[in-house]
Amino acid sequence: MTNLFLPLVAKMDPTDYVGFTFFVGCMAMMAASAFFFLSLNQFDKKWRTSVLVSGLITFIAAVHYFYMRDYWASNMESPTFFRYVDWILTVPLMCVEFYLILKVAGAKKSLLTKMIVLSVIMLVTGYLGEAVYAGQAALWGFFSAVAYFAIVYEIWLGGAAKLANEAGGDVLAAHKVLCWFVLVGWIIYPLGYLVGTADGQWYSSFANLGLDMDVLYNIADAINKIGFGLVIYALACKKTA
């Protein structure tokens, strides 16, 4: 393991806050994964899958952050490709969590399918606009935004919201917290898209915001993914008790 870390430490500048957040993000995700995996046996079987998925989300993110940290140290540029590979795996799993906790209220696989499809559309169109068809970023960003707001509608006002209200109690409380994560926590991602694709677009003023999106992405990823998992963990603890 020493050989893996020494080259990065040797290149790390004390003022490289992007590199610092990549490093901290990697360690935080890995620690969260260990926590979720090692706690599985304390829950009733019907809640173990939810906690397991939480661990998978942070574990997948930790692995990708290891590569993104390497990429940043070597090239000093945003690892867009690795970010989207991470998101295409972890974001649908975060959407799966809604289905898993709502199964107690009778959630059907159609909800699971809808949430996964919408999240994949949101991410694939976002990647096309940011990395493949930069000249058409506004168009692809529009498609991505439609999918995002469809997810927001589903969990706040749609079928998922109705199931949560039927479940009530701890499930409803956990569902509402997860909804806030999607509405507030995830909003950093479309903002980053606008900043990253602003050149030559009608929203070019976003390029002048002076935001370091890699730092914001790294912080948001850690809060959203670990936070999602902790909400599920707390729910599983209450239901098991």
List pLDDT tens digits, range 139-184: 999 999 999 999 999 999 999 999 999 999 999 999 999 999 999 9
Q: Which of 139, 144, 131, 146 is nearest to 202 (CA)?
A: 139
Q: Give the rounded percent of residues in the chain with a pLDDT score beyond 70.
A: 94
For 107-125, the pLDDT digits (tens) are: 999 999 999 999 999 999 9
Residue 61's pLDDT band (boundaries 50, 70, 90)?
very high
The pLDDT of residue 2: 45
Higher pLDDT, 70 or 211: 70
Write out the DSSP string of 75-108.
H-S--HHHHHHHHHHHHHHHHHHHHHHHGGGT--
pLDDT band at 66 (very low <50, low <70, confident <90, very high): very high
In this model, does residue 104 exceed pLDDT 90?
no
The DSSP line for 108-152 is: -HHHHHHHHHHHHHHHHHHHIIIII-GGGHHHHHHHHHHHHHHHH
- Overall number of domains in the chain: 1
Q: Which domain holds residue 84?
A: 2-240
Q: Is the pLDDT of residue 31 over 90?
A: yes
Amino acid identity of residue 211, one-letter, is: L
**What pTM was computed for the model?**
0.91
Q: What is the separation, in whole angstroms, between the first and last Cα of the chain?
A: 40
The pLDDT value recorded for residue 206 is 80
Question: What string of DSSP letters covers 172-208?
Answer: HHHHHHHHHIIIIITTHHHHHHHHHT-TTSTTGGGGG
Percentage above 90 pLDDT, the chain: 74
Q: Domain with 166 in it: what CATH number? A: 1.20.1070.10
Instruction: Kindly report the number of other CB atoms within 10 A of residue 161's CB atom.
Output: 19
With a cut of 60, say whether residue 8 has pLDDT above it. Answer: no
144 and 91 Cβ atoms separated by less than 8 Å: no
For residue 209, the SS3 value is coil
